Amino acid sequence: MKPWNERHDPVLGESSPDGASAASATFLQDRRDEDLRAPAWLWGAAAIVFVAYATLSLMVANAQNASATTQAGVLIGAFFWPLLVVGVTCLWEERRNPRARVKTFLVTCLVFLVIAGITFLSVRGYGLHRWSRSSFSAADFKAQAVRCLRERDLACAESNWTDYVRLRPDESYGIVNLGIVLNQQDKHAEAVAQFAKALSLGEGAYDLFAYYADSLAKLGRTDEAIEWSYKALSVVPTLVDVRSKLAKLLVGAGRHYEALSALQAFDSQRVSRGQSPYFEAQRIAIESVIDAGGASNGPAEREALRLPAFGGHFFAPVTLGAGKPAPYMVDTGASRTTMSDAVLRDSKASFKVVATNVQIQTADGRKVPARTVVIESMKLGRFELRNVSAVTCSDCAALLGQSTLSQFDMQSSRVQGVEFLTLVPRGRQ
């Protein structure tokens, strides 16, 4: 008979004979630690949401025209506030829990992302159109349109200007701005309709004329585009982009010399003030076409040369010998055409001196020695003139006097506020 063994209860701190209990405890601890770790997908989701939230926050700040310093602060805040929320929630943790912290960061970024999205929609006016459109005034739509234009969101600006015009249909200010936004989106037929409506209401401004001309040109209505470009320049002659486009339209219409005159007139005024010419490259391009004979085929300039006014004067393209066309100011009060000795010499034009003891008074009132010459051949536009009498001196300005102008019938006209001088060779009318 086997002896009875007394039951043995485990004692705290007593080791298991085979170490099984210790292994089991270690396994359970490892499982708990593993459950508390944040998986890679959770980290990735948190990073993506944070980037979206930070980006949208910057877009809101930029839409409100915030400074670079403010935008930097917004970016720092986008990272700081979620971390602050995570830090506060850690105070209630019984033990370290990385998984919960990443979840808290993710949820916080999601909440801030939603808030930033609602703010962005409100700033850009999208929420305005979706939820409370009927309650806003024309001034509200104008403010939203300005914000949209600041962001170069043309579709948003168009929508807001459309609502502005709906509320104020007889106010040309909104109509013009709507037309400009349509022009910038290449909706030229709609833009032309808005510009025409503004003009019918009596609106008149250089930007209206310029954008109207641009839309007309894009629709192939070249002659109208040319006239409205001239009108824009008559209000603000220094609009170089409008002048450049006008020259291209004139070249396309076969009016090369008129295009050259429009550019030369502007550049000659700049040179007289000691500034460099602005349109030199474009003039060279047009002159190259003329040299190649392309300008002679333009039907618009076969019978007459039309010169637009600039600064109250008319400038005509004159070609001497082997030189390039140069701007000469039309002076109907001068008896002879004048030019400097250097210009005549550099042109290599054939001429003969008929008088050397001539005195001429310059623009500043000085009397200087000059000589009278007869130039064998010179061109005014595409029209060649023979045996032209002229006066040359060291400081003579480039002027077209009666010795040249007398070979043309001149007609000054004012076409809807724009001054032109038309030169027709005698016997061609």
281 touches 395 (CB < 8 A): no
Q: Most confidently modeled of 15-24, 30-39, 293-302, 387-396?
A: 387-396
- Comparing CA positions, the residue from 269, 198, 254, 190 lying closest to residue 228 is 198
Based on the domain organization, do 410 and 317 belong to the same domain?
yes
Based on the domain organization, do 322 and 397 belong to the same domain?
yes
Using the 3D structure, point to which of 124, 150, 172 is the last residue of a domain.
124
Global pTM? Answer: 0.68
The pLDDT, as a whole number, for residue 281 is 93
- pLDDT above 50 for 28: no
Based on the domain organization, do 326 and 403 belong to the same domain?
yes
Asked which of 87-101, 152-166, 190-204 is least confident by mean pLDDT, the reply is: 87-101
Instruction: Determine the straight-line distance between the first and last CA of the chain, rounded to whole angstroms.
Output: 152
> For residues 405 and 408, what is the distance between their CA atoms, to the nearest angstrom?
5
pLDDT bracket for residue 34 (50, 70, 90): low
Long-range contacts of 199-208 (CB under 8 A, 24+ apart): 201/170, 201/172, 201/175, 202/172, 203/172, 203/175, 203/176, 205/176, 205/235, 206/232, 206/235, 206/236, 206/239, 207/176, 207/180, 207/232, 208/176, 208/179
The pLDDT, as a whole number, for residue 179 is 96
Name the 3-class secondary structure at 385: strand
Residue 298 lies in a domain: no
Q: Strand runs (DSSP E) across 383-417, as ranges?
A: 383-393, 399-400, 408-415
DSSP, res 155: H
Residue 131 lies in a domain: no
In the chain, how many domains are there? 3
CA atoms within 13 A on the CB side of 190: 14
* Run of H or E residues at 111: helix 98-124
Using the 3D structure, point to which of 253, 277, 292 is the last residue of a domain.
253
Based on the domain organization, do 341 and 239 belong to the same domain?
no
| 189 contact partners, CB below 8 Å, separation of at least 6 | 219
> For residues 179 and 191, what is the distance between their CA atoms, to the nearest angstrom?
4
Range of the domain at 68: 40-124
- Name the percent of the chain lying above pLDDT 70: 83
**DSSP tally for the chain: helices H, then strands E:** 16, 10
Based on the domain organization, do 326 and 398 belong to the same domain?
yes
Asked which of 16-20, 118-122, 285-289 is least confident by mean pLDDT, the reply is: 16-20
Q: How far is CA 27 from CA 24, 97, 99, 171, 257, in A?
A: 5, 18, 20, 80, 95
State phi, psi for 350 to the nearest 5 degrees: -80, 130
- Name the percent of the chain lying above pLDDT 90: 38
Q: pLDDT tens digits for 377-400?
A: 999 988 989 999 999 988 888 999
Residue 19 lies in a domain: no
Tokens of 206: 């250089």
Q: Most confidently modeled of 23-27, 150-154, 214-218?
A: 214-218
> Which ranges constitute the DSSP H helices of 15-64?
20-36, 40-63
Based on the domain organization, do 321 and 404 belong to the same domain?
yes
pLDDT bracket for residue 152 (50, 70, 90): confident
163 touches 128 (CB < 8 A): no
pLDDT bracket for residue 219 (50, 70, 90): very high
Based on the domain organization, do 341 and 419 belong to the same domain?
yes
Long-range contacts of 200-209 (CB under 8 A, 24+ apart): 201/170, 201/172, 201/175, 202/172, 203/172, 203/175, 203/176, 205/176, 205/235, 206/232, 206/235, 206/236, 206/239, 207/176, 207/180, 207/232, 208/176, 208/179, 209/235
The pLDDT, as a whole number, for residue 13 is 47
CB count within 10 Å of CB 183 equals 22
> For residues 163 and 157, what is the distance between their CA atoms, to the nearest angstrom?
10
Asked which of 16-30, 159-173, 204-218 is least confident by mean pLDDT, the reply is: 16-30
Helix axes 138-150, 98-124, angle to 10 degrees: 120
Residue 107 lies in a domain: yes
Residue 139 lies in a domain: no
Based on the domain organization, do 232 and 319 belong to the same domain?
no
CA dihedral for 180, 182, 188, 192, sign (positive or negative): negative
> For residues 386 and 285, what is the distance between their CA atoms, to the nearest angstrom?
27
Q: What CATH number did the domain enclosing 407 receive?
A: 2.40.70.10
pLDDT bracket for residue 25 (50, 70, 90): very low
Tokens of 144: 């939203």
Residue 368 lies in a domain: yes
> For residues 319 and 50, what is the distance between their CA atoms, to the nearest angstrom?
69
Instruction: Give the pLDDT mean for 125-145.
Output: 70
The pLDDT, as a whole number, for residue 95 is 64
Using the 3D structure, point to which of 72, 91, 124 is the last residue of a domain.
124
The pLDDT, as a whole number, for residue 366 is 79
The pLDDT, as a whole number, for residue 328 is 92
Instruction: Give the pLDDT mean for 399-419.
Output: 87
Asked which of 81-90, 170-179, 226-235, 332-341 is least confident by mean pLDDT, the reply is: 81-90
The pLDDT, as a whole number, for residue 227 is 92
Q: What residue type is assigned to position 272 of the chain?
A: S
Instruction: Give the pLDDT mean for 406-413.
Output: 90
> For residues 340 and 110, what is the distance between their CA atoms, to the nearest angstrom?
77
Asked which of 219-233, 247-261, 348-362 is least confident by mean pLDDT, the reply is: 348-362
Residue 265 lies in a domain: no
Asked which of 196-200, 210-214, 424-428 is least confident by mean pLDDT, the reply is: 424-428
Q: pLDDT tens digits for 274-328?
A: 899 999 999 999 988 888 776 655 566 778 899 988 888 899 999 998 788 889 9
The pLDDT, as a whole number, for residue 60 is 73
Residue 355 lies in a domain: yes
pLDDT bracket for residue 29 (50, 70, 90): very low
The pLDDT, as a whole number, for residue 12 is 45
pLDDT bracket for residue 68 (50, 70, 90): confident
Based on the domain organization, do 116 and 215 belong to the same domain?
no
Q: Most confidently modeled of 79-83, 187-191, 289-293, 376-380?
A: 187-191
Asked which of 263-267, 317-321, 356-360 is least confident by mean pLDDT, the reply is: 356-360
Based on the domain organization, do 347 and 416 belong to the same domain?
yes
Tokens of 234: 């008559």
